[in-house]
Homo-oligomer: A and B are copies of this chain.
Amino acid sequence: MKDIQNQLDHRRINIKKVGVKTISYPVTVLDKEKKRQNTIASVNMYVNLPHRFKGTHMSRFVEILNQFHGEIDLKSFQKILVRMKERLEAEASHLEMSFLYFLSKEKMSESLKVCHYRCSFIGSLEDEQDLQLKVEIPVILPLIQTEFKGLPRSRGHWGKAEVLLRLKSFVWIEDLILLIEGAIETEQSSLATTGHDALSVESLTRGIAESLARLSGVSWFSLRVENLGNEYSTFATLECSV
């Protein structure tokens, strides 16, 4: 056993990352229209360690989170990363926060006044800080074309688009959601006009990428479009430095 132990130490196979995950926590996030909105986050906090980690320090992650009382904006996000790195004497700190973001849409009386989107902030701090924003947009399409205006149209769940942005500066979640939904609508309309092709994961991926490339405040993005099927799904991915 001892020899293996020495071998292991020689190979430097010490613990690489350690932390806590899936903390359910009520948070407030910035809202373009209402200034702040209340939601619930699932939080992961972990660090890269320079040497063997003592187990008793696990509670420090939660202590740090408690100090911010769930008020999460970009500034507090950065502060949490700094404090994790210091308090846990880590080489790098990581913070991930996934939450439902609610967006008011007052278009029609019959519809829900709030739509929800799964969003995440993903940050890390080593020598420099890296901050990413992830949004998941459902793609819902009309199922059967009807010529009769005003009649209810059946709609179906075609699939979804997952977008991950590396942020240089602040971006409103609302602006990002509306940009992507606009790109989906454009792609769908152009199909309806030309009339001779069906929506494909590849064409929608390119359509959304063209819109994202115009977004300021972003240094890089990746994108995954998925068409949910019955027996299996199809997907396409793309990434791009802006």
By a beta-carbon cutoff of 8 Å, the part of chain A in contact with chain B is 1, 4-5, 7-8, 11, 13-26, 37-40, 43, 46, 52-53, 55-56, 58-59, 62-63, 65-66, 100, 102, 109-116, 138, 140-148, 151-159, 191-192, 195-203, 205-206, 209-210, 213-214, 226-241
Contact = CB atoms under 8 A, between A and B. Distances in A.
Give the copy number.
Answer: 4
B231 A199 contact: no
Contacts of A15: 202, 205-206, 236-238
Nearest to A226: B21
A185 to B, nearest CB: 14
Most chain B CB within a 10 A radius of its CB, from A46, A159, A203, A234: A234
Contact of A55 (B38, B152, B156, B239): B152
A149 to B, nearest CB: 12
A66 to B, nearest CB: 5
Contacts of A62: 110-112, 232
Contacts of A206: 8, 15
A202 B52 contact: yes
B155 A56 contact: no
